[in-house]
Amino acid sequence: MANNSDFQDLIDTLLKGDNANHRMQAAKALGDYVNDLSDDEYEQAKKALDSAMMDPDPMVLTTAMQSMTKFTRGGGIQITGDIDVHGDTEADLLQAPTKSVCSVCHRPEALIPDGGCERDDCPYK
């Protein structure tokens, strides 16, 4: 934010203000200015809004929730450019399962009793 004292006033009002309307306005302002916040201010504001979601006044709580939806900065590594994806290919996913059903009675393998089924040609005997 342009002025650090203005930012701190918003945080203090949101967390400690006596007037619910002022707390609501502070929550809204933090959401409105999210793109102007430094990384440190962003984290402070996110924590303050998180705390404000426990506010006894439902309007403050609702406004804090709405503002929190604007806090979407991703953390961690950002990938730019082309990436190679490794994992299952379509051929891997389309291969038929092996030994999932009996070739003789066509029952699922898990339902065939130990020692095979009643058929003499059961491959599970």
Within a domain: 108: yes
User: Is 56 a member of any domain?
Assistant: yes
Average pLDDT value for residue range 79-100: 62
Between these two residues, 92 and 29, which has the higher pLDDT value?
29
Closest CA to 71 of 10, 27, 7: 27
Predicted confidence (pLDDT) per residue in 5-64, tens digit = 899 999 999 999 999 999 999 999 999 999 899 989 999 999 999 999 999 999 999 999
61 — alpha (psi -120 to 50), left (phi > 0) or beta? Answer: alpha
Given this model, what pLDDT does residue 95 score? Answer: 60
pTM of the predicted protein model: 0.57
Residue 100 inside a domain? The answer is: yes
Among candidates 46, 51, 47, 70, which has minimal Cα distance to 61?
Answer: 51
113, part of any domain: yes
Beta bridge partners of residue 108, listed in sequence order: 101
Bigger pLDDT: 115 vs 37: 37
Of 68, 84, 104, the one marking the end of a domain is: 68
Identify whether residues 59 and 106 lie together within a single domain.
no
% of residues, the chain, pLDDT over 70: 77
Domain enclosing residue 112, as ranges: 95-125
49 and 14 together in one domain: yes
**Quick one: 8 and 63 in the same domain?**
yes
Query: What's the domain count of the chain?
Result: 2
